[in-house]
Structure 1
Amino acid sequence: MERKQIRALGRRVKKIFIEHDEVKRIWSRFDGMRTYIKLDQFEDEDEEENDDDDKRNLFLTGLSGVGKSQIGKRYAKSVPRYTEIIDDEEIDIIPVIYVELPYPFTQAEFYKEILKALGTENFKKEPTVNELRNRVFHLLTKQRVEMIIFDEMNFIMRTKNFDNQSAMEMLKKLSNQLQLCIVCMGTPQIEKLHTMEDEYVRRFGRDRIERFEKCDEKFCELLERIEKAIESPNPIGLHDQSTGLPQLLHYYCQGRIGYLHLILKESFRLLNVYEENVQVEYSEIRLTVDIIKQAKFNLFRKNDHLITPDNVDKKEYMV
């Protein structure tokens, strides 16, 4: 029984995801983009498309560790999938898919990743790029995909032997021909892809996922919700500023959820939550400042693991 409790605790720590205000804001924007696509169905086919008012596509950027990938993955999972019988064939309807771009970026691997997200990845023989492209376009239409969330857009720029503009044209073609939404996610460096042509600026909106800039009430509220989600056998006081924990954690993660999650997972690993062969008393599991400091050191050693953002005074968050 005790081992089961410890395993359950470990799973809760691994799966931490809090729908804070920034997550809800981005998800609301995704919903709006999909609604815009559905409104197109009511337009006259002969009516000229107003590209200047195109709200279908988005460049979504944010610093490393702010939670972009989790926001994209969990949104895709949150939209219900279902099956329909069409002409005696059972079709999996997938309104939103999440695709992590390949590295190095190539046309073939790009289309293969889309097919994988659609549940098709086994091929009897190695298909040509044209065959892959045709299969992708066919299935995206057949399975009624409304939105594709492309993560790791930085991989396009890092692939030296693939032209950035060719990649952008591939994305534009998907959106134009299939009337679906495209979300491009990456760090702020991918803005270069967005601004390389006026046409891309017009067709793709821009948004940014912000970090928690200060160790303030919102950050402490996040920590309180995290502690409730963890359900540790002993109170931690993550949100209690009198313990020094919020200030310490904010300084270590600089308000970036991904790094905060890493530190918490490593902290509970140090408490032997994930060790099957180590005898642990569930009631004795207790997260302390010393454990958190050791976890940060294990992950990033003595060096600063992040570039200090602008307008941040390190002394303000030192404990």
Structure 2
Amino acid sequence: MTDNASHLTASAREVLSLTDAERIFRIKSDRWIGYPYAKVVLKQLDDLLQHPRVNRMPNIILIGDSNNGKSTLVKRFCQLNPTVDNPEGEAVIAPVMYVQAPPVPDEGRFYNAILDLLFAPYKPSERVDKKQYQVLKLLRYAQLKVLVIDEIHQILAGSLHRQRAFLNVLKYLSNELQISIVGVGTKDALRALQTEPQLANRFKPIHLPRWEMNDDFKRLLASFGAMLPLKLPSKLHNEAIFTRLYAMSEGNIGELTSVLNTAAELAILSGNECITLDTLNQIDWTPPSERRRQFLTV
């Protein structure tokens, strides 16, 4: 069976030899699809990594709708630039670090998250200035070049004073360590940065738009079809299936992933081994705009 599965990538063909339950587990696991615009963004992130240390380091703010692939993209960047052990040094070598913004703009919580990532001992009750000193020292040892802060729009959960204080922390880290910062969030992240104009001017905005119903979307579907370990080819480029998938996902890659994963699981359990229009009609799926509408009417 695996020898004849020419519709799949080599890694997906290998998964065909697993049990149905194991294949479904693989389908539900994270996967990377390097579509053209993602490669463009990765190149710009890599440019930050290669940039010499200067007094005013360049920064990026990656903006997009919720569940539209932002976190997947920056995590891919981190995977391509992994942390390495440094047994003889004071800390690991970490050219890139990924951290989520705290649920409220709190300097202490932010330092806690960084110290946790570095497996550094600390007391949560310690003074903020002591944590700051420890973070600066360890990040220097780690030779950090790029700090990725996901969900940065959560800054807006605090008062204007706390927002500005937190943004000043980011500016201080960037200046003191001569590192680039990559903020990741929804369009509200831009509004959050505007509370500190000097910092906002340092960020280049990159928008991750929704997919349009065009040939690029068809190529994306082809990539998915080659990676889902189904024994028969799914004709996702078929006009009816293509149109249905776009309507179900509304051009959101995270939604599309969930739809195709659910459909692929049903294709395995039913024994059909491919995704058809009938498969899509059978799964229980509500498009994101309809879910929002239902939420607002509750």
Band of TM-score, shorter chain: 0.7 to 0.9
**1:179–1:39 distance in 2 versus 1, CA, 3 Å:** closer
Deviation at 1:107, TM superposition (A): 1.8
1:282-301 CA distance string (max 9 Å, x none): x543433233234353x559
Q: Distance in 1 between matches of 2:19 and 2:263?
A: 19
Q: Distance in 1 between matches of 2:140 and 2:204?
A: 24
Could you say which residue in structure 2 is the equivalent of 1:196? 195
Could you say which residue in structure 2 is the equivalent of 1:304? 290
Could you say which residue in structure 1 is the equivalent of 2:110? 110
1:73-132 CA distance string (max 9 Å, x none): 1111111432345xx446410110111112134222111112223343x54674332222
Q: Distance in 2 between matches of 1:289 and 1:193?
A: 43
User: Alignment RMSD, CA only?
Assistant: 2.7
**Which residue of 231, 234, 258 maps to 1:233?**
231
Could you say which residue in structure 2 is the equivalent of 1:141? 140
**Which residue of 11, 29, 46 maps to 1:14?**
29
Unaligned runs of 5+ in 1: 41-48, 274-279, 308-319
Could you say which residue in structure 2 is the equivalent of 1:261? 257
Could you say which residue in structure 2 is the equivalent of 1:99? 99
Q: Distance in 1 between matches of 2:184 and 2:24?
A: 31
Matches within 5 A, 1:175-214: 175-213=174-212
Which residue type is aligned with residue 24 of structure 1? K
1:70 aligns to 2:72 (yes or no) = yes
Which residue type is aligned with residue 165 of structure 1? R
Which residue type is aligned with residue 295 of structure 1? I
Q: Is the 8 A contact 2:153 2:192 kept in 1?
A: no
Deviation at 1:4, TM superposition (A): 2.7
1:293 aligns to 2:295 (yes or no) = no
Q: Distance in 2 between matches of 1:71 and 1:5?
A: 29
Which residue type is aligned with residue 279 of structure 2? I
Could you say which residue in structure 2 is the equivalent of 1:83? 85
3-state SS in 1 of match to 2:171: helix
Give the structure-1-normalised TM-score: 0.78
3-state SS in 2 of match to 1:305: helix
Which residue type is aligned with residue 225 of structure 1? S
| Percent of aligned pairs sharing the same letter | 24
Give the structure-2-normalised TM-score: 0.83
Which residue type is aligned with residue 101 of structure 1? A
1:249-281 CA distance string (max 9 Å, x none): 11221211111112223334445x6xxxxxx57
Q: Is the 8 A contact 1:267 1:292 kept in 2?
A: yes
